[in-house]
Amino acid sequence: MPEPLAPLVLTLGDPDGIGPEIALKAWAALRPDGPVFAVAGGLDILSRTARLLNLPAPAAIADCSAAHDAFDRALPVLPGGTGSPTLASIEDGVSRVRSGEASGLVTNPVSKAALYAQGFAFPGHTEFLAHLTSDMPVTGERGPAMMLAVPGLRTVLVTIHQPLREAIASLTSGKIVQTARLAFQALQRDFSITRPRLALAGLNPHAGEGGSMGREEIDILAPALEQLRAEGIDIAGPMPPDTLFHAEARERYDAAICLYHDQGLIPVKTLDFHGGVNVTLGLPIVRTSPDHGTAKDIAGKGVARADSLIAAVRLAQEIAGNRGRTR
């Protein structure tokens, strides 16, 4: 029988964003039944935000093991690190998951511009996490890759934050194969789907219409599909993107492999704008995140919604539990 899960650890995000507010709102929503989590650092800003929201003051704890006892009365907050509170929170959170003190990491949004101003040397949040865990072994393909998840739909992106022209130019059969492998392995390990079914979205209208509307489906996607099927991966495609996301189509696959950012995010956000979760595939630790930004324009006003963070916390616990059962 698997051991009880350790608490999750939540990063602070940007102190001047909505991270502190939604962390407290997520705690208020989850305090009766969990999942239990602690925030890595930021006691002062969380205390100020709690007063704004008329919520109990957070409780300082020494380590994640104390989170269970504190959670029903106050948001547990771990000691802060030195330097940038945003980066210190990420580093401390990763360290606690690496050691087994926490079962998974849920990251609040950060501003890339703010990080770059501090000399941040990575393209983004996810690449930094990959760096911090690069010496740890992974089960299966090493990522990272981005999955967006809402009830009824999971999409996994081959290219992410690139201009559309560059994203199309950078597509290769190898990138598609790697992304599909990551999705397939994650569905088995993290979502307990024994025989995952994937669908590969086409790039062009009507998935190229036999080459009359573009050759990418023939020259790039078809070789990837052939290789994946030879590896025993159940993957359909290339599927015309305009018929891939309606209710009946979604019943035929467990995740859709999408070729560029908006192809994967538009259907997810249409289905559940406030509740989407970003899951990082191919890391040796569990990592989820709300599917939105820092929203600094509304920070400190008490109006931010915590739906996506709550969903991210719940999904992180689900994934951590599933990984524990497959060890």
Tracing tokens 């999408």 back to the chain, one arrives at: 258
Q: Are 214 and 168 in contact (CB under 8 A)?
A: no
Alpha carbon distance 82, 61 (integer Å): 17
Q: Are 209 and 242 in contact (CB under 8 A)?
A: no
Both 73 and 50 in one domain: the answer is yes
Which residues, other chains included, contact 197 with Cβ-Cβ below 8 Å and sequence gap of 6+?
A: 234, 235, 236, 252, 253, 254
Both 146 and 109 in one domain: the answer is no
**Residue 90 belongs to a domain:** yes
**Residue 235 belongs to a domain:** yes
Neighbours of 63 (CB within 10 A): 15
**Residue 297 belongs to a domain:** no
Give me the DSSP letters along 224-240.
HHHHHHHTT-EEEEEEP
How many domains does the chain divide into?
2
Both 266 and 314 in one domain: the answer is no
**Residue 132 belongs to a domain:** no
Both 26 and 156 in one domain: the answer is no
Residue 249: domain span: 139-282
Partners of 146 in the β-ladder: 157, 280
pLDDT for position 122: 85
Selection from 300, 232, 312, 324 nearest residue 52 by Cα? 300
Both 144 and 123 in one domain: the answer is no
Partners of 184 in the β-ladder: none
Query: Which residues are documented as binding site?
Result: 125-126, 161, 206, 261, 269, 278, 287
**Residue 55 belongs to a domain:** yes
Residue 230 has phi, psi (to 5 degrees) of: -65, -25
Predicted confidence pLDDT, tens digits, the chain (327 residues): 456 899 999 999 999 999 999 999 999 999 999 999 999 999 999 999 999 999 999 999 999 999 999 999 999 999 988 888 999 999 999 999 999 999 999 999 998 888 888 788 888 888 899 999 999 999 889 999 999 999 999 999 999 988 999 999 999 999 999 999 999 999 999 999 999 999 999 999 999 889 988 899 999 999 999 999 999 999 999 999 999 999 999 999 999 999 999 999 999 999 999 999 999 999 999 999 999 999 999 999 999 999 999 999 999 999 999 998 755
**Residue 50 belongs to a domain:** yes
Both 212 and 84 in one domain: the answer is no
pLDDT for position 1: 45
Alpha carbon distance 130, 45 (integer Å): 28
Domain boundary among 266, 282, 298: 282
Query: Which residues are documented as binding site for substrate?
Result: 125-126, 269, 278, 287
Which residues, other chains included, contact 262 with Cβ-Cβ below 8 Å and sequence gap of 6+?
A: 164
Both 79 and 99 in one domain: the answer is yes
Both 3 and 96 in one domain: the answer is yes
Both 93 and 143 in one domain: the answer is no
Both 171 and 254 in one domain: the answer is yes
Both 51 and 159 in one domain: the answer is no
**Residue 94 belongs to a domain:** yes
Specify the CATH number for the domain of residue 43: 3.40.718.10
**Residue 27 belongs to a domain:** yes
Query: Which residues are documented as binding site for a divalent metal cation?
Result: 161, 206, 261
Both 86 and 28 in one domain: the answer is yes
